[in-house]
Amino acid sequence: MRLEETLSALSAEVSGTRAKGVAAEIARFHRTQASPGYDEALDVVGEQLARFRVATRVHEFPADGRSKTYAWTSPPAWTVRGGVLGQTAPDEKRLVSFDEIPTCVAAHSPGGAFEGDLIHVGKGDTDADYTAADVRGRVVLACGRASEVTKRAGREGAVGVVVYPNDERSATSHDLVEYHGIFPAATDIANLVPTFAVSRRIADGLLRGLSRDAVRLRGEIDAEYTDRPLRVLEAWIDGTDPASGEVLLVAHLCHPRPSANDNASGSAALVEVTRALCGTASLLPLRAGIRFLWVPEFYGTLPWAAAHTRGLEHVRYSLNLDMVGQSPEGIGEPLRVFRAPNHLPTYVHALVEPLLTMVASSSTAAPGGSRRPLHWSYDAPSGGSDHLVFAASPHRIPSFMVGHDDPYWHTSHDTIENVDPTRLQHVVLFACAASVLPQSVADDNRLFGWLLSYGAREFARASALAEGVDPELGHELLDVALGIETRRAETVATLGVSQRGTDLLQRHEVALRGMRDHFAALLPAAPRRSTGTRIHRPTRQIDGPLVYAVTDSFTEEEARFFKDKLSTNHRALAEGLLALCDGTRTAGQIALQLSLDVGRLVPAEDVEAGVALLRKAGYVAG
C-alpha cells in the first residue's frame, strides 16, 4: 500500500479532538517522577489502551536517589500536598501557594517550615555567589536553577530558597512561575532546604523592598520523600515479519500540573497513534512491529532501555513526541521535526519531508481546532529529551523528535488552553504514517527518488561548507558526505526490497559517487591528506546521554566554553561529539561530521577542547 493510501486509511481513524481530551485528563495530575500523580496519569493512559485491547505491561525501577543507569542517578520518590510562601515584614502578604500554582514548589524540595530575612545572591549557582554573602539563617533569593542553588544555599546555612526566572525566561510573561526540579542524590537530601519558585513580578517586588529595608519571608511546604518506583508503560503491536524489526515511539508523561503541551500533548498523541494503528490493523497489516512507551523523562527511559538492550537491537528507528500540540494562534509555529544525527543514517531521513507534505495537503482541521494549514520545518538534531537515550551507545538507534518551540514550557502558563486539536491531529497522522514506513515504501520506487533528492541537497550543503575551508578539507568534507549518503542508502536493504529495488539501489550508489565528483569539481584541486593534526582517536567510556551535571567538574571558564560552543540545540552538538568518539576518528574527522549535522563549520580546535572536557568528566579516554 502506497503512502497516500496509508494516510487515507489512517485519516479515518485519527481524531485530534479525542487526543486533546486525553491530554486534558493527563494535565489534571501533578506528575513528578515516582509520585502518586504520575501513577494516576499512567492509569489514565492504561485505561485508554485497554479499550482497544493492545498488549501492555508496566515496568518498575528504583527511585531512591542511589540507583544508577550509566552516569544517571535516579531521583528519590517524592510527593507534595501543599505549600504557601508569604512575606511577614515590612508588611504581611501571601506571595504564592501550591493550590493556585503547583509549580511554585520545587520538585524534590524537602517539607518543612522556615522564616528568615531575605538575601539576594544573584544566580546563586556557583560557590562564588556565596563568598561575600552570609546566608546563615536567611532565605536565599536567586535566579539560577534550583537544582544548583538549593544544594549550595543549604550547605551554607540558609533556611529556605526562593528562585525566580531570569530575563530570558520571563521575557514572555512576568507572571509565569517556572518548574524547577532539584533531582538530588540520596546523599544530598540532608543539606536541602524548602524551595519555592515565584514569578519575575513577585521577585522584582521583593528586590525593590530589599533596596529600602529588610524583607522577611515565611514559608511552609507539605512534602516528603517516599518509597515508590519509577513506572514505565509499554504497549506493542507485533509485526508479521520478525526480520523487518520494530519501530519505537516514546512520549514522556512526567512534569508538574498542568504541563499540558509538555508533555500531556505528546502522551495523548501517542495514545491516539496506538488507537489508530489498532483500528486499521485489518487494512494495514504490519510487517514490522511497533512498540510504544510512556515514561518519566530520562530517569525511566534509561533503566528501561538498559534492561532491554538485546530487544532494542531489532529497532530500526525511533520517534519521540515531545511538546506536539501547541496552538499556532496562541503560541506560534512551526511544527518541528528534528533529524537523527548523520552518524546514525537511515532511509527515513529522506522520507520525512515528503510525508509532512502529504500530511499537510491531506489532513483537515479538527472540530474546534485551528484552521491554519500545517506549517512545518525539518531541523538539525536536537537534544533535551528521550530520543537521546536510544540514539546513544549502546543502542545507537536513528532517533527523531517531533515538537514545538514553546515559551511556556516548564512554567505555570503551559495550560490546556494552548493545546490545539488540529495540530494534534497533524502530529498523530504523521507519527502513524512514520510508524508503518517499512510496509508503505518497501515496494515504492519513489523511495529512490526521495533518497536521491535528499542526497543531492546534502551534497549541496556540504559543498557550500567546503567553500569556506582550504581545498584539502573541502574535498574531505565531500568524502564524509559520500560515506553518510552511501550508508543511508544501504539501510533500504532492511525493507526487503524486490530485485528491481536492488537494481535501483546499485544505480543509486553510482549516482551518489557522481554527485560527489560533480561538487568536488567545483572546488580547487588539492592533494589529499588525512584530516586533523592529532593522531589520537578518542573513545567514549560511559554509555547513555550526557548527564545534566556533566559541567560540575569544569572550571567556570570551561563551563562557559561548553555552554557557548557545544550546547546549541539543547546540547545536541555535545551529544554528537560524544557519539563520534568511537576510537576510529580524529578530532578533525569528528569536526567535519558535526559540521554536516549543524550546517556550519565546527572548528577542529573546538572538538579537541570538547574532548578534553569530556575526558575530564570521565566520558572519554584517549
pLDDT in tens, 413-430: 999 999 999 999 999 999
Nearest to 439 by CA among 243, 291, 235, 250: 243
Q: Flag whether pLDDT at 329 surpasses 60.
A: yes
Q: How many CB atoms lie within 10 A of CB 341?
A: 25
Look up cell 500533548; give the residue.
265
User: Which residue type occupies 592?
Assistant: L
Q: How many residues does the chain have?
A: 622
What local confidence, expressed as pLDDT, does residue 533 receive?
Answer: 47
Distances (CA, A) of 526 to 476, 513, 514, 523: 10, 18, 19, 9
Query: Is the Cβ–Cβ distance between 359 and 426 less than 8 Å?
Result: yes
Residues of 55-78 as b/e, b for ≥16 C-beta within 10 angstroms? Answer: ebeebebbbbbeeebbbbbbbbbb
Q: Flag whether pLDDT at 532 surpasses 50.
A: no
What local confidence, expressed as pLDDT, does residue 499 receive?
Answer: 76
Look up cell 519509577; give the residue.
230
Q: How far apart are CA 104 and CA 85, in angstroms?
A: 9
Nearest to 481 by CA among 599, 318, 327, 604: 599
491-503 mean pLDDT: 83
**Angle subtended by helix axes 266-279 and 36-51, to nearest 10:** 20
Cell numbers representing residue 198 in the block: 515565584
Q: Flag whether pLDDT at 20 surpasses 60.
A: yes
**Angle subtended by helix axes 568-580 and 587-598, to nearest 10:** 140
Largest alpha-carbon pair distance within the chain? 83
Query: Is the Cβ–Cβ distance between 240 and 104 less than 8 Å?
Result: no
Confidence of residue 531 (pLDDT cuts 50, 70, 90): very low
How many angstroms separate the first and last alpha carbons of the chain? 50
Q: How far apart are CA 253 and CA 271, in angstroms?
A: 11
Look up cell 491516539; give the residue.
272
Please state, for a pLDDT cut of 70, what percent of the chain lies above it: 99
427-441 mean pLDDT: 95
The backbone torsions φ and ψ at residue 234, rounded to the nearest 5 degrees and listed phi first, read: -115, 140
Q: Is the dihedral of CA 260, 266, 268, 269 positive or negative?
A: positive
Q: Note the helical H segments in 109-166.
A: 146-155
327-332 mean pLDDT: 93
Q: Flag whether pLDDT at 500 surpasses 80.
A: no
Residues of 86-122 as b/e, b for ≥16 C-beta within 10 angstroms? Answer: bbeeeeeeebbbbeebbbbbbbbbbbbebbbebbbbe
Strand ranges of the sheet holding 216-225, from the earlier edge strand across to the other edge: 93-97, 78-89, 216-225, 112-120, 139-142, 160-163, 195-197
For Cα atoms 149, 154, 157, give the angle at the middle one, nearest 5 degrees. 130
Q: Flag whether pLDDT at 498 surpasses 80.
A: no
What local confidence, expressed as pLDDT, does residue 505 receive?
Answer: 86
Q: How far apart are CA 6 and CA 281, in angstroms?
A: 11
Q: Flag whether pLDDT at 381 surpasses 60.
A: yes
Q: Note the helical H segments in 421-496.
A: 421-435, 437-440, 446-466, 471-490
Considering the chain, tell me which residue range(s) the CATH 3.40.630.10 domain(s) occupy: 3-73+229-440
Confidence of residue 535 (pLDDT cuts 50, 70, 90): low
Q: How far apart are CA 392 and CA 402, in angstroms?
A: 18
Cell numbers representing residue 180 in the block: 524547577
Cell numbers representing residue 406 in the block: 514553546
Q: How far apart are CA 453 and CA 450, in angstroms?
A: 5
Query: Is the Cβ–Cβ distance between 216 and 140 less than 8 Å?
Result: no
The backbone torsions φ and ψ at residue 143, rounded to the nearest 5 degrees and listed phi first, read: -115, 15
Tell me the pLDDT tens digit for each residue of 144-153.
999 999 999 9
Kindly indicate whether the domain formed by 78-225 is annotated with CATH number 3.50.30.30. Answer: yes
90-115 mean pLDDT: 98
Confidence of residue 409 (pLDDT cuts 50, 70, 90): very high
Nearest to 60 by CA among 303, 310, 249, 389: 303
What local confidence, expressed as pLDDT, does residue 528 receive?
Answer: 59
101-110 mean pLDDT: 98
Query: Is the Cβ–Cβ distance between 526 and 593 less than 8 Å?
Result: no
What local confidence, expressed as pLDDT, does residue 410 receive?
Answer: 97
272-293 mean pLDDT: 93
Tell me the pLDDT tens digit for each residue of 222-242.
999 999 999 999 999 999 999
The backbone torsions φ and ψ at residue 58, rounded to the nearest 5 degrees and listed phi first, read: -110, 130
Average pLDDT, the chain: 95
589-618 mean pLDDT: 96
2-23 mean pLDDT: 94
Q: Note the helical H segments in 315-411.
A: 352-362, 387-391
Query: Is the Cβ–Cβ distance between 206 and 197 less than 8 Å?
Result: no
Distances (CA, A) of 617 to 66, 132, 398, 606: 19, 29, 26, 17
Q: How far apart are CA 114 and CA 99, in angstroms?
A: 19
For residue 499, count CB atoms less than 10 angstroms from its CB and return exposed for 0-12, middle for 13-18, buried for 19 or more. Answer: exposed
Q: How far apart are CA 131 and CA 140, in angstroms?
A: 14
Query: Is the Cβ–Cβ distance between 263 and 387 less than 8 Å?
Result: no
Tell me the pLDDT tens digit for each residue of 33-47.
999 999 999 999 999
Confidence of residue 86 (pLDDT cuts 50, 70, 90): very high
What local confidence, expressed as pLDDT, does residue 187 receive?
Answer: 96
Rounded to the nearest 10°, the torsion over CA 81, 147, 249, 419 is 60
Considering the chain, tell me which residue range(s) the CATH 3.50.30.30 domain(s) occupy: 78-225
* Cis, peptide link before residue 334, omega less than 30° from 0: yes
Residues 6+ apart with CB under 8 A from 129: 121, 122, 123, 142, 144, 152
Architecture of domain 3-73+229-440: 3-Layer(aba) Sandwich (3.40)
Look up cell 499537510; give the residue.
360
Q: How far apart are CA 501 and CA 492, in angstroms?
A: 9
Q: Flag whether pLDDT at 398 surpasses 60.
A: yes
Beta bridge partners of 93: 87
